[in-house]
Amino acid sequence: MEIKVRYFSKFGRTERIARAIAEGAGVTAVSLLDEKAPQGSCDVLFLGGAPYANVMAPELRAYAEALTKESIGKVVLFTTACWSHRTVKGLKKIFQGKGIPVDDEYFYAQMLRVKDKEPDARAFAEKTVRNLSPEQE
Ligand SMILES: Cc1cc2nc3c(=O)[nH]c(=O)nc-3n(C[C@H](O)[C@H](O)[C@H](O)COP(=O)(O)O)c2cc1C
């Protein structure tokens, strides 16, 4: 089971959540600044970002649009924001258009509560991974 965590973060908040999710999933989080286009394939891709003036970062959109159904089992989304969940909605729309499965459940951290939410993000990833392979419980 190959799991990846990828994120775009300008100011570090989404990065903190990405790192917590990666810890819960037992992998390393990679910034889209370091992996501008998708590499290889995976079973589960945790993908996250934030809205800036009501739009997701172009880097995140370009990455999502470059993903293919053949290279991804499913996507699990996460976001940080002041109030908006629109990054998740925008990403879901992209993946639905491509036929890439996306979990309904996603992780949201309000920007001022990111530090408090790190344990929840870790637990969210642990639960997601546990549900992938229930026989290992
Ligand atoms: C220029 C700018 C524009 C923003 N626009 C929005 C917005 O439209 N909606 C929202 O909910 N949050 C908005 N935010 C808040 C960011 O989405 C939030 O701080 C997020 O956690 C930033 O993630 P990052 O630290 O990973 O870059 C904005 C922040 C900045 C600096």
Write the pLDDT tens digit of every residue in 101-136.
Answer: 999 999 999 999 999 999 999 999 999 999 987 664
Quickly list DSSP for the chain: --EEEEE--SSSHHHHHHHHHHHHHTS-EEETTT-SS--S-EEEEEEEE-EETTEE-HHHHHHHHH--GGGEEEEEEEEEESS--HHHHHHHHHHHHHT--B-S--EEEEGGGHHHHHHHHHHHHHHHHHHH-GGG-
Write the pLDDT tens digit of every residue in 51-103.
Answer: 999 999 999 999 999 999 999 999 999 999 999 999 999 999 999 999 999 99
Indicate if ligand 1 lies below 6 Å from the C-beta of 54.
yes
Share of the chain above pLDDT 70, in %: 97
Q: What is the atom index within ligand 1 of the atom nearest the CA of 111? A: 21
- Using the mean position of ligand 1's atoms as its centre, give its distance from the Cα of residue 30 in Å: 20
Full-model pTM: 0.96
Q: According to the model, what pLDDT value does residue 135 have?
A: 61
Indicate if ligand 1 lies below 6 Å from the C-beta of 41.
no
For the chain, the structural domain boundaries read: 3-132
Indicate if ligand 1 lies below 6 Å from the C-beta of 14.
yes
Domain 3-132 in CATH 3.40.50.360? The answer is yes
- Using the mean position of ligand 1's atoms as its centre, give its distance from the Cα of residue 15 in Å: 13
